[in-house]
Structure 1
Amino acid sequence: MTRTTVYIDGYNLYYSRLKGTPYKWQDVAALFRDRILLPQDPGAELVAIKFFTAPVKASYARHGEASVRAQTQYHRALLAMSPGLVQIINGFHIFEPASLPSYQADTDPRKSNMSRVWMIEEKQTDVNLALHAYRDAVRGACEQLVICSNDSDLEPALRMIRGDVPGARIGLVMPLRDKAPADGKVPNKRLTALAHWVRHYIRDDELARSQLPQNVPTKKKPASKPSHW
């Protein structure tokens, strides 16, 4: 058995694959263990799933406070459905005023045409994922690391794992559709070059078959799927 840990960039998974679909109430344990790992490596033993995200800001979310409640319900459901397996590691968002070039079609950005905007950034998600993966590799916490992200910021971490822990196996799962979308998102070649194996997409049928129950029992009241999901 190959002890395997899955590292999920929750932001990347949501915005690149789940947004605009009816599959947001996703059981990540079922998805990665049964739909992805089992066919790829039947000898894999899933020992941990680390889900990296940041709390939603109601003032910026499309559904306001309902978005905050939806995320809370989802995290409660994940932890209750797979106790001891799923971990949620939070970063945070920052909002800062900034000056950026105004957009004009067919024109390069210019300092002479600046606008004041709010800069919204998700902080620590990438660095948390990179550090957890590297630490787990060097400590021998797992033999296979499966990264679910298409973010090139993770390239240095994967390169260091390959160099410092040559016995560790790296799998890469791209949170993309199986057909090229209109937005033109494609697998990041800088990441795929460092993986031992790559899953270039997650299919709709895999997402559909990996949904959490409508109501997930917890030690308190059930965690329920949000109505707008």
Structure 2
Amino acid sequence: MRTAFFVDGYNLFYGLLAGTPYKWLDLPSLLGHILHVENPTSVLTSVDYFTSSVKPELATRGRVSKEAQDTYVRALKARHVNIHYGRHQLEPARAPRFIDKGTGASRLDKVDIWKLEEKETDVHIAVSMYRLAARQALLRSLEPVDQLVLVSGDTDMAPALRAIREDFPDLTLGVILPHRPEFKRPAPGSLKNHAHWMRRVITADELRQHQLPPRVPTHKAPAIKPDYW
């Protein structure tokens, strides 16, 4: 079963990798492993990775965080991962003041904040998945993709999965949630309802076993694992 993966980079990082020593992840290797576990006859054909550039002024390590992201993206490209960029939008806003967990939010007590949003990523993933399904149905490809797999826990993707399943019933849809076992999170029903299968967690052992080498050859200078990763 020929399989294409669509990875929400923001979801992957903050749902699975942040706070771990496994950020230098060999994404195609990990996804190929999971694919084989789910169905040994499946073959990975492509990985599309969707992200937005780090804003140094808001990152924990400033410019170093941006350089680390850029280095990792170069390493992914060397592993034949297709990279797609959205953008971050920062704008002033007002939000209810947080007092404590026992006190509810009030629209009568608001404070000024900076609101940071990742823009275009969800729509880009949804359009990319649907276009692949539609293009191969129209062109009747000699080597069609049989399965699309979303790597995200974002329920905003549910309408796209539903549309693909309704319009292209011969395609298999999978979902991999970028969750660690120690965090007990329920599987999003809106994603589960439109997928043929779902992988709920990825273990630390799996992350450890699928790391890139410290130096990844590229067409130019090698991509070197950031020291603090």
Which residue of 1 is the match for residue 134 of structure 2?
A: 138
Contact 1:176 1:186 in 2 (8 A): no
- Give the counterpart of 1:154 among 135, 157, 167: 157
Tell me how far 1:187 sits from its aligned partner: 1.9
Which residue of 1 is the match for residue 139 of structure 2?
A: none
Q: 2:194 is paired with a residue of what secondary structure?
A: coil
Q: How does 1:177-192 map to 2 (within 5 A)?
A: 177-179=180-182, 181=183, 184-192=184-192
- Give the counterpart of 2:46 among 28, 35, 48: 48
Which residue of 2 is the match for residue 71 of structure 1?
A: 69
Which residue of 2 is the match for residue 215 of structure 1?
A: 215
Q: 2:48 is paired with a residue of what secondary structure?
A: strand
Which residue of 2 is the match for residue 101 of structure 1?
A: 96
The alignment covers a number of residue pairs equal to 221
Tell me how far 1:146 sits from its aligned partner: 0.7
**Aligned-partner Cα distance in 1 for 2:215–2:189:** 39
Which residue of 2 is the match for residue 87 of structure 1?
A: 82
Superposition TM-score, scaled by structure 1 size: 0.93
Percent identity of paired positions between Structure 1 and Structure 2? 43
Q: 2:28 is paired with a residue of what secondary structure?
A: helix
Provide runs of 4+ in structure 1 moved above 3 Å.
none
Q: Deviations over 1:17-54 (max 9, x none)?
A: 10000000001000001x20112112212111000100
**Aligned-partner Cα distance in 2 for 1:88–1:112:** 43
Which residue of 1 is the match for residue 8 of structure 2?
A: 9
Q: Which residue identity does 2:116 align to in structure 1?
A: I
Superposition TM-score, scaled by structure 2 size: 0.93
Name structure 1 gaps, 5 residues minimum: none
Contact 1:37 1:44 in 2 (8 A): yes
Q: 2:162 is paired with a residue of what secondary structure?
A: helix
**Aligned-partner Cα distance in 1 for 2:190–2:41:** 27
Which residue of 2 is the match for residue 169 of structure 1?
A: 172
**Aligned-partner Cα distance in 2 for 1:22–1:193:** 33
Q: 1:170 is paired with a residue of what secondary structure?
A: strand
Q: Which residue identity does 2:103 align to in structure 1?
A: T
**Aligned-partner Cα distance in 2 for 1:37–1:107:** 45
Q: 1:5 is paired with a residue of what secondary structure?
A: strand
Which residue of 2 is the match for residue 112 of structure 1?
A: 108
**Aligned-partner Cα distance in 1 for 2:93–2:146:** 43
Superposition RMSD in Å: 1.1
Name structure 2 gaps, 5 residues minimum: 137-143
Tell me how far 1:69 sits from its aligned partner: 0.4
Contact 1:56 1:68 in 2 (8 A): yes
- Answer with 130-139 or 145-154: which moved more: 130-139
Tell me how far 1:196 sits from its aligned partner: 0.5
Which residue of 2 is the match for residue 20 of structure 1?
A: 19
**Aligned-partner Cα distance in 2 for 1:163–1:219:** 42
Tell me how far 1:186 sits from its aligned partner: 2.8
**Aligned-partner Cα distance in 2 for 1:5–1:218:** 23
